[in-house]
Amino acid sequence: MPGPLDGFRIIDLTAMVSGPMATMLLGDQGADVIKVEPPGGDLNRRLGKTRNGVTAIFLTSNRNKRSIVIDLKTSKGRALLAELVATADAFVQNFRPGAVERMGIGESAMRRVREDLVYVSISGFGETGPYAQKRVYDPLIQALSGLASIQGDRGAGRPRMVRTIIPDKITAITAAQAITAALLARERTGRGQHVRLAMLDAMVALLWPEGMARHTFMSGASRDRPIAQDLVFETTDGFITAGTVSDSEWEGMARATEHPEWLDDERFRTSEGRVIHAKQRLAMIERALKNRSTDDWLERLDAEQVPCAPILTPAQVIEHPQVAANQLVVEGEHALVGPIRQPRPAAIFSETPAAISRQAPALGEHTDEILEELGKSAADTSELRSAKVIR
């Protein structure tokens, strides 16, 4: 059974992460994603530690795609792209605002060859405004969206970055959803459209529900929300987390730690009181949990139905029994780098399964195959190659 997006073709001119992860998700779900790369290739192929010229991040942002190299600085290259777009359902790009128009591959040019195209523009900051033309890196969005401030140290007030590129990646999922919605609308209306998404907008929208809770009510809400203490507890051999929100969970914690006197403490008798006195309560829990091992505590807390989990390193995640039960990590073979590990697509479809059906392509690996599908003769292809239009 093919995936839910089987039969849709996406022309993907994106680079780095925000665009490639979006189109990968669509590829996972069966779309025919054609990654159009410049002669030098997507920069993400070589930013960081490479093996045989490939980075790990590239592999997990570009599986389920085919790669064709086209030099769009040539008019023949642009003509070839137009031929490809004529066969496609969606076109996705994440150049800086205005660049596609200068390159001659803007929405109006592409819509001339494919009237019902879903044309997608992903930007860093938006298409107008003081930041529109700035180069974007993930930390800039963490800074501008309030995420770095929310992550900051209590007390000292020094901001801190989240150590994974959340803005890039949530933009990717948000874009994938929007593209899918535009394709769904097109099924009913027969019409394409332009979908625009800024990383800044995606990040602020994601943060808002609790991150910006204090700014939701417009009157009397000027102070920023005090930041809650981390639910991180050290054990004799590692770290665990545990939650005690409900009465029964709090009672379970007191039993598991053999501190029945906690239940007599007026401050902690209600869930509201436990929030107000969180600092004292968490310090008590922290002291109590120091004297046994992680496994011991997890067993005791589980027995009392206190929600808990070990804090795993990335290496431990792969080995964890729940991750194994979910069959989440799949091993594959990549032509250039050998055996690799990746997560399967997260959402599981009973009738139209998403799957890893091909690994990330080598640069231009499918140039000839795609030209042949377009009806080019071997002579045509050879001529385009000599003229350095394709590689």
Footprint on residues 358-377 left by a copy of itself (CB under 8 A): none
Give yes or no for residue 206 binding a copy of itself (CB under 8 A). yes
Please list every residue from 62 through 121 that binds a copy of itself, using CB under 8 A.
none
Q: Kindly state the smallest distance separating residue 103's Cβ from a copy of itself, in Å.
A: 20
Range list of H helices, 233-293: 247-256, 271-276, 278-289
Rounded to whole angstroms, how far apart are CA atoms 208 and 214? 10
CA angle, corner 91, sides to 386 and 5, nearest 5?
115
Q: Is the dihedral of CA 352, 354, 356, 361 positive or negative?
A: positive
The DSSP bridge pattern shows strands 239-242 and 233-234 to be antiparallel
**Site for a copy of itself contains 165 (CB under 8 A):** yes
Please give the residues from 224 up to 263 whose contact with a copy of itself meets the rule CB under 8 A: 224-225, 227-228, 230-232, 234, 239-241, 243, 245
Compare residues 202 and 371 and give the one whose CB is closer to a copy of itself: 202
Residue 46 in tokens = 């070589």
Question: Which of 208, 259, 277, 356 forms a contact with a copy of itself (CB under 8 A)?
Answer: 208
Please indicate whether residue 168 is annotated as part of the active site: yes
Site for a copy of itself in 119-138 (CB under 8 A): 125-126, 128-132, 134-137
Cα separation, 58 vs 53, whole angstroms: 11
User: Whole-number minimum distance, CB 243 to a copy of itself, in Å?
Assistant: 4
Binders in 32-51 for a copy of itself, by CB under 8 A = 48-49, 51
Angle at CA 230, nearest 5°, toward 168 and 139? 25
336 near a copy of itself (CB under 8 A):
no
Nearer Cβ to a copy of itself (236/313): 313
Q: Report if residue 335 touches a copy of itself, rule: CB under 8 A.
A: no
- Given the residues 12, 168, 247, 295, select the one marked as catalytic: 168
Closest distance to a copy of itself from the beta carbon of 348 (Å)? 4
Show contacts with a copy of itself in window 280-309 (CB under 8 A): 302, 305, 307-309
Q: Which is nearer to a copy of itself, 87 or 193 (by Cβ)? A: 193
Distance CA 261, CA 256 (A): 12
Establish if 145 lies at the interface with a copy of itself (CB under 8 A). yes
Alpha-carbon distance of 141 to 148, in angstroms, equals: 9
| Contact region with a copy of itself (CB under 8 A), list: 69-77, 281-289, 332-340, 368-376 | 332-340
Identify the residue whose tokens are 């592409």. 110
Please report how close the Cβ of residue 290 comes to a copy of itself at its closest, in angstroms.
13
Give every CB contact of residue 171 below 8 A, 6+ residues apart in sequence: 18, 22, 122, 197, 199, 202, 203
| Residue 300: half-sphere exposure toward Cβ, Cα within 13 Å | 18
Query: Active-site positions?
Result: 168
